[in-house]
Structure 1
Amino acid sequence: MIPYGRQDISAEDIDAVTEVLRSDWLTQGQAGPRFEQAMAAYCGSRSAIAVSNATAALHIACIALDLGPGDALWTSPNTFVASANCALYCGADVDFVDIDPRTYNMSVSALAEKLEAAASQGRLPKIVVPVHFAGQSCEMREIRALADRYGFRIVEDASHAVGGEYLGRKVGSCDYGDATIFSFHPVKIITTGEGGMALTNDPKLAERLSYLRTHGIIRPAQRPEEPQGASRIAEERANEERDGPWMYEQIELGLNYRMTDIQSALGTSQLARLDPFVARRRELAARYDTLLAKLPVACPWQHPDTNSAWHLYVIRLHRNEIRLSRRQVFDALRAAGIGVNVHYIPVHTQPYYRKLGFQTGMFPEAESYYEDAITLPLFSRMTNDEQDTVVAALRKILA
């Protein structure tokens, strides 16, 4: 079976992990900060906070931006459920913005229209989560302009897009958003096994993210400056007690979302090969475009402002030109040893979200896209012969 995605683990990766396993620190050592600093430097952001997975990063980003009951978060229906669930974890409401029929990302025009209506009703979102689907950045410059006009915060769900670019800058630079979220799941572009990261240019946001991932606990040296007029009871403690090396203070209700040193070492090693990984994915995507040109499918369209990291290569079947349903094509490809997948079932159609009042028909572009979509195999070690096998199987089935 040719899988739709596969991790690329080298001998150097294994050596990096083994070195940590032989050390005194399996977690909370120096491997984590090294990974964070390397990723921030690569993306051009001020700070990076490594966590246990991208869902955790989304969650603490929402907490750090003070999302709570009575607030709303908007995201794309064409995403994994975590992009919406993070709001519900905070007791906030969720809504969706339909997708652009070309990029399959959040539609800027739909967002602008929805914001205008929400402003007239006094129901604007506190946070908008644009999802960089398949590795292609959303139109962040335009979304930033809307944020400035309507006053919402931006958390970029770039789980698919590490190594991608927008307007000549790396995704993760946080030029347009308050925070950017990466995923390092094994099918993503680089992996830490499980893992995620939040990047930001806001020092106060970075500080809060750092202690939210660690139970809300700080050490005395990390103690934030108390606001003017706050209680000074803590200052009355004996200095030797207050500053003892054993001391820690829980200043907020946080979570245990840390990334281990084992994972961080793997991530740092993988990051050294990120550019070659992305370059190979771009080669394969361009090759798919050529090989599929005469088949009754739509290949992914790329916005000229973006340079995708190509986490996924998704085609849409021209069902009016073939006699088979999407399910029949999918099953036939699987039977031929091609590990295709479908990304994504629109979040608002999930049973849990139906219970919240969402219904089929509310976001027609996302629903139409889903009915036609099939994700073809794409990974950095995929050979041209494997890709030819995929295309030959698809050609035979569609014929």
Structure 2
Amino acid sequence: MSNNRIPYGRQDINEDDIAAVVAALKSDFLTQGPEVPRFEQAVSQYCGAAHAVAVNSATSALHIACLALGLKAGDLLWTTPITFVASANCARYCGADVDFVDIDPVTSNLSPAALSKKLETAKKAGRLPKILVAVHLSGEPCDMQKLAALCAEYDVKIIEDASHAIGGRYGAGSIGNCAHSAITIFSFHPVKIVTSAEGGMAVTNDLELAEAMRLLRSHGITRDPAKMLNVPHGPWYYEQLILGFNYRMTDIQAALGTSQMTRLDQFMRRRHELADRYDELLADFPVVTPHRNKENYSGLHLYVIRVPDRAGKPGRDDVFARLQAAGIGVNLHYMPVHLQPYYRDHGQGNKSFPEAEAYYREAITLPLYPGLSDADQDRVVAALDAALA
């Protein structure tokens, strides 16, 4: 990297990836060709899901997933406060309201105990959510069995926001098999586990949901005579059935994504090697390292430590600044969504989620990506040691 700076995340592109993109550029199709369904098949087969719908971003995937599940004005969506804003914004795009469920202090994921209490209270108030967006923060799977049981009891649909988690497993099943959810969302942004330069995907086992999302991603237009309201006038004929969007992925992006999928397991192995090494190197440091449930297999998109307050010692803010000054491109994932000005102005201004706020005061994301060398990781650890002193 320029100036010898170590970023918190970085794509891993090889010659096969470049060749796949060049082949797509030289083909007859740059947008709506064979590469998109090929990418969809690669992801659905890997995850064990029946259907996959590729789009131009995970945010778009969240939006059409909400619409396919019937979210509308007057409805309510719940999610975790510790996530990227898109996990909440998808509800606002549909005209629905948003509320949050506090996190578990150990896993940093949405707390099943907090969800149980909030659902009970919401039922008494007659204001239950229609959808819960369960975010696998940093790639560590949520307790989907508990979340699914609670949501089934209250007739709440689940979307898994697995933007950090492709390649991970919940128990024996791959994240994305939708065993405990209606729809799962993946992201292919460059810093994610695999990339299509930019892009997202929704996977599901429900054919009707898949068809609805395919219609929504492309203007609400169909060319399938079986779905048309009128008799086709000719081979050129198409019909707009609903108000949709231009959320389509290009063949160029899909070609890169398909090539990347062939190395997903390799990426995962290296991420776990690096995380295990961090765990060992930081064992005696005054920080809290990420929790990983041994019954699962984390996607390990991020390695987030927590720096608790210590009397007379540097706090999180000072440690963060010192690491940045040492050329370590640390980051913070994430600021609590309910504290964002937009959400403070939309009903969250007087609410407190103490575990999420405690996490925010302490969290630092350390560099983690397949191309991170052991030597660079040693440099990160040495810089952290100095910053904590």
TM-score normalised according to structure 1 size = 0.95
1:1-399 superposed matches below 5 A: 1-221=5-225, 223=227, 234=230, 237=231, 242=232, 244-320=234-310, 323-359=313-349, 362-399=352-389
Distance 1:207 1:346 in 2: 34
CA offset digits 1:190-234 (Å, max 9, x no partner): 00111000000000000010110000011134517xxxxxxxx73
Q: Which residues of structure 1 form unaligned runs of 5+?
A: 225-232
Distance 2:129 2:347 in 1: 18
SS at match of 1:25: coil
What letter is aligned with 1:27?
Answer: T
Distance 2:286 2:193 in 1: 29
CA contact (8 A) 1:2 1:337 kept: yes
The Cα of 1:27 is off from its aligned counterpart by 0.6
The Cα of 1:146 is off from its aligned counterpart by 1.0
CA offset digits 1:246-293 (Å, max 9, x no partner): 011111100000000000000000000000001100010010000001
The Cα of 1:304 is off from its aligned counterpart by 3.4
SS at match of 1:307: coil
Aligned to 1:227: none
Distance 2:375 2:225 in 1: 56
The Cα of 1:147 is off from its aligned counterpart by 1.6
TM-score normalised according to structure 2 size = 0.97
Distance 2:83 2:350 in 1: 16
Distance 2:311 2:368 in 1: 25
SS at match of 2:78: strand
The Cα of 1:321 is off from its aligned counterpart by 5.6
CA contact (8 A) 1:318 1:372 kept: yes
SS at match of 2:310: helix
Aligned residue-pair number: 385
List structure 1 segments (4+ residues) > 6 angstroms apart after TM superposition.
none
The Cα of 1:53 is off from its aligned counterpart by 0.1
Distance 1:33 1:282 in 2: 30
The Cα of 1:357 is off from its aligned counterpart by 2.5
Distance 1:322 1:276 in 2: 43
The Cα of 1:334 is off from its aligned counterpart by 0.7
CA contact (8 A) 2:40 2:52 kept: yes
SS at match of 1:197: strand
Distance 1:25 1:329 in 2: 49
Aligned to 1:229: none
Distance 1:192 1:387 in 2: 26
The Cα of 1:303 is off from its aligned counterpart by 2.3
Distance 1:206 1:387 in 2: 42
The Cα of 1:72 is off from its aligned counterpart by 0.2
The Cα of 1:102 is off from its aligned counterpart by 0.7
Distance 2:371 2:311 in 1: 33
Cα 1:222/1:310, change in 2 over 3 Å: farther
Distance 1:315 1:360 in 2: 28
Q: Which residues of structure 2 form unaligned runs of 5+?
A: none
The Cα of 1:361 is off from its aligned counterpart by 5.6
